[in-house]
Structure 1
Amino acid sequence: MVAHQTIAGLLADGAASSPAIRATEGRPALTYGALRDLVGTTVAALNAAGIGRGDRVGIVLPNGPEMAAAFVAVASAATTAPLNPSYRQEEFEFYLDDLKARALVVLRGDETPARAAGMKLGVPILELVPDLASGAGAFALEGGAPGRAARPGPAEAEDVALVLHTSGTTARPKIVPLTHANVTASARHIGVALALTPADTCLNIMPLFHIHGLIAAVLSSLAAGGAVCCTPGFDALRFFRWIDEERPSWYTAVPTMHQTILARAERKRDIIARAPLRLLRSSSASLPGPVMQQLEAVFGAPLVESYGMTEAAHQMCSNPLAGPRKPGKVGLPAGPEVAVMADDGTILPQGSIGEVVIRGPNVMAGYDANPEANAKAFLNGWFRTGDQGLFDEDGFLLLTGRLKELINRGGEKVSPLEVDGVLSEHPAVAQALTFAIPHAKLGEEVGAAIVLRDGQALTERELRDFAAVRLADFKVPKKVVFLPEIPKGATGKLMRIGLAEKLGISL
């Protein structure tokens, strides 16, 4: 099969009558033939509005089939810039201005503050009008003014398909440009790791303004000739109903979603039995080992933990589908080259701890218009991930933490991931997040936020005693807080940095 290097090219091998995009509202599927036609009409419509290859188009749409279809179709003509629909007007103004957006796509009838932001900045508004009489995700674009695109026609391999902002903590976010060659390579890598075929359907519960949902759910499915079934977004109360009604073969999610699903799975064993999954996939944050083992036991299917980041168009490593899968480790290199590097740029041998670095066809060439950031991010042709880790004797990567998130307790370095794993082993613990608490003498001290399982009770002292027989004294949390829910970012990722301040905790 040809290794297509554009998003439109990925659609070429899908059988014309086979479902490409499905939806949970009971609508008929959008077939590959219809999706290819939609791409063609969208390219023509954007070109007629003066928008072509390299022009950035902001997309603010709710999760669902139209968002998936719009990403595929708009990227085939221009550069997509999906934005979080929950942003406030000021945030939309910042991102649209920073992106130098040439147009903004919004849903007709949706009074999103993005409209006001676009109008204030003079960004042409294109209204997406769903074609409810056709397959799920079918749409037309209306609005804008007639114009001539500087670079018309279908996008090519080295054109930028997608730009996303990094999620920095305090610094101005950087713009990550991903070419068609980058995103299609990553989609293929995921397909190989999961052995995807045209018979597979992914239930997408991830936000589609996020790299995980766009590449791992949508593009990997289309690259394999399979289908993606689009939901309105993650909903724990409806998840098992969707599984029962749609009969997907797999889903991909972040650990917080998996943990929420696990909490309800025991009561849904009848659905799991009659609508079995071929596999589950986890990425975008570290999944505690006990959670992985419990999910595999309950679903009777392999849980494939993968390691990804935006700058790599998502996937970098993956646990093998056929095994062995190692709980707490993110697997073997699964696409790009992956190595561990010392501070001086030396590639370290197996078993040595250092910074995880990558290079390969899915890795971006550099941040947009940011030479200072690029000088720091690349060394000897390798992209520096900012993660610390080591390769074990079997070549599996163990992440020991984000370099910025490592807790420096009086010179002793504590890996939050290691402590998370130990605390998660306690039978009363549903979720654990280890974080740094500022300390006058030590610089930082170890803290932990805990969510208990339903009906379980646990004291701070009991949990610290449990940890003390499994961890060195300096790694045992000095402060444990019990919460109904741990604060998360927009994509469901738990937020470690600044958590002590957010919770008002000091020592």
Structure 2
Amino acid sequence: MSETIHHLATSHTGPATVGAPGQPWLDGPGLATLVRTTCATLNTHGIGRGDRVAIVLPNGPAAATAFIAIAAMAAAAPLNPAYTEAEFEFYLDDLRPRAVIVAAGTASPVRTVASRLAIPLIELTETAPAGAFTLDCTSLPQTPPSRPGPAEPDDEALVLHTSGTTARPKIVPLTGRNLSASAHHIATSLALTADDTCLNVMPLFHIHGLVAATLASLAAGARVCCTPGFNAFRFATWLHEVQPSWYTAVPTMHQAILMRVRGEPAAMRAARLRFIRSSSASLPPQVMTELEDVFAAPVIEAYGMTEAAHQMAANPLPPRPRKPGSVGLPAGPEIAIMNDAGTLLDQGATGEVVIRGPNVTLGYAGNPEATARAFTNGWFRTGDEGRLDADGYLHLTGRLKEMINRGGEKISPLEVDVALLDHPGVAEACTFAVPHAKLGEEVAAIVVPRPGSSLTAQDVRDFAAARLAPFKVPRQILIMDAIPKGATGKVQRIGLAQRLGLVTA
């Protein structure tokens, strides 16, 4: 198994590797040439192994190939191009990259921030075919790097921040070995071959889009078609034009897609997807069932996080069983369940999910205290609660920090979500904690009605009361057009009550 991104990128021999809707494909030899040219260009300007290079590019094929090329010879640090000036200030000051890659001719607050922090800009100009580009490095002096050449397996290849909402985000460094291991794990679990094409709708500043869609496709010698970003209105058009064999997305994206296409199942089945992948948050069983019905394709739910270079577990492809409500079998690292004292628990017991393996980060950059808290006896503590059933499938009950503590009674938001989604008028649901003067926390929920539904809060509450213990029934129910989401489409339950301005008596 290859252990560097350079090897993944330069060993792809297919006639097509990276593409975009409506554009000609970049072939394997073209990608290899692009990677080698980028390495030589940046080496000439003093950037080499271990040096961080921030990438601020719009979603699309160049964002994918720039990530691949940088990770093959240095450390890529993709950032959300929609960040504000204050956010760029925080992330660039924290990362201290050698340079920032930006799209030539575009306005972005990152330019102002980079100038203020004396970080050189590298201007990227897209060329043809899809994913090809040139770099203008005139802002950098010509000087040899301290460590030239392609990156080694244990060099830092990708640097991302955790997406925590209650504390300062931590820097997660991932090596070429971590990324390569995860890419191969995903390719193996999905049985990817050179005949597969992934339609990538995930952001390319997020581990899901970078590894599951892009690197896993490279590892299998397959193709990845990079869209300009998620767009439920254009999804059906992309399916028809690209004819992918699979796509991967977060649950909220799948739900948005269903809202647009559930009325045209014949057209969706004509797309002939081999499978649909879901990851980065728990997929409600009702959504899994409807996706499989509309697309006539199996839905493979997986479990991932940044510190594991994305994938940890995945439901298997048919004919092996897929379990709705489960994130599947270990699909890369070892998985176990641990209690607060650091003791591994027996199968069936509920506790914190812990992992270890070649795709797992060795710790947080510049934060030995956080690293020490994250590892126990060589196991990384994920912060997720769950159990392994008799067949070895992992069932998550939620993030430990998201559990609602109502006067000592612990409530899983995921359990309440699933109950609310059984209501025929509910399209989406999100359960979260609101502060309570006496109980500490109380249960609240947002529900998005299905089109044409005359949903009321009392309807939903009465429905929930027939299915949940009284202390789990949401006391506040908000009927909204959409659930507030983060930049990657994930629901962020922590702090949601504050963002919505909710208080309880």
Q: TM-score, normalised by structure 1?
A: 0.97
5+ residue gaps, structure 2, are none
**Structure 2 matches for 1:298-337, cutoff 5 A?**
298-322=294-318, 323-337=320-334
Contact 2:248 2:277 in 1 (8 A): yes
2:94 corresponds in structure 1 to 98
Whether the 8 Å CA contact 2:442–2:475 is kept in 1: the answer is: yes
Partner of residue 348 from structure 2, selected from 322, 347, 351: 351
Aligned-partner residue type, residue 286 of structure 2: P
1:147 to 143, 148, 152: 143
- What is the Cα deviation at residue 44 of structure 1? 0.2
Matches within 5 A, 1:353-368: 353-368=350-365
1:10 to 8, 11, 17: 8
* Counterpart AA for 1:417: L
Partner of 2:234: 238
The answer as to whether partners of 1:240 and 1:268 remain within 8 angstroms in 2 is no
Secondary structure at the residue paired with 1:363?
coil
| 8 Å CA contact retained: 2:11, 2:32 | no
1:384 to 381, 385, 401: 381
- Measured against aligned partners, the alpha-carbon deviations of 1:221-256 in whole angstroms (never above 9, x if no partner) come to 010000000100001110100000110000000000
Q: CA deviation at 1:469?
A: 2.0
2:489 pairs with one of 489, 492, 501:
492
Supply the distance in 2 between the matched residues of 1:421 and 1:274 (Cα, whole angstroms): 30
CA distance in 2, matches of 1:318, 1:221: 17
Kindly report which structure 2 residues correspond to 1:408-419, keeping only aligned pairs within 5 A, or say none. 408-419=405-416
Shift of 1:161: 0.6
Match 1:43 to one of 39, 42, 48? 39
Q: Cα distance, 1:13 vs. partner?
A: 4.0
Q: Secondary structure at the match of 1:404?
A: helix
Return the match for 1:130 from 126, 132, 140: 126
Q: Deviations over 1:451-475 (max 9, x none)?
A: 0111112222221221122211111
The Cα shift of 1:396 comes to 1.1
CA RMSD after TM alignment: 1.0
CA distance in 1, matches of 2:355, 2:133: 38
Identity of aligned residues (%): 61
Tell me which of 433, 436, 450 is aligned to 1:439. Answer: 436
Matched, 1:426 2:423: yes
Cα distance in 1 for partners of 2:207, 2:289 equals 26
CA distance in 1, matches of 2:354, 2:151: 30
Separation (CA, whole Å) in 2 of partners of 1:436 and 1:194: 36
- What amino acid is the match of 2:216? S
The reply to whether residue 482 of structure 1 matches residue 502 of structure 2 is: no
Native 8 Å contact 2:10 2:31 kept in 1: no
Among candidates 457, 460, 465, match of residue 462 of structure 2: 465
Q: State the AA in 1 paired with 2:411.
A: V
Cα distance in 2 for partners of 1:145, 1:191 equals 40
Give a deviation string over 1:93-128, Cα, whole Å, max 9, x none: 221111111001001011111111111111111111
Task: State the 1:168 CA deviation.
Answer: 1.7
> Could you tell me whether the CA contact under 8 Å between 1:328 and 1:421 is conserved in 2?
no
Amino acid at match of 1:360: G
CA deviation string 1:384-437 (max 9, x = no partner): 000011111221111111111000011110000111111111111110000001
Give matches, 1:150-299, under 5 Å.
150-299=146-295
**2:444 match: secondary structure:** strand
- The alignment of Structure 1 onto Structure 2 pairs a total of residues equal to 501
Q: CA deviation at 1:14?
A: 2.4
Query: TM-score normalised to the size of structure 2?
Result: 0.98
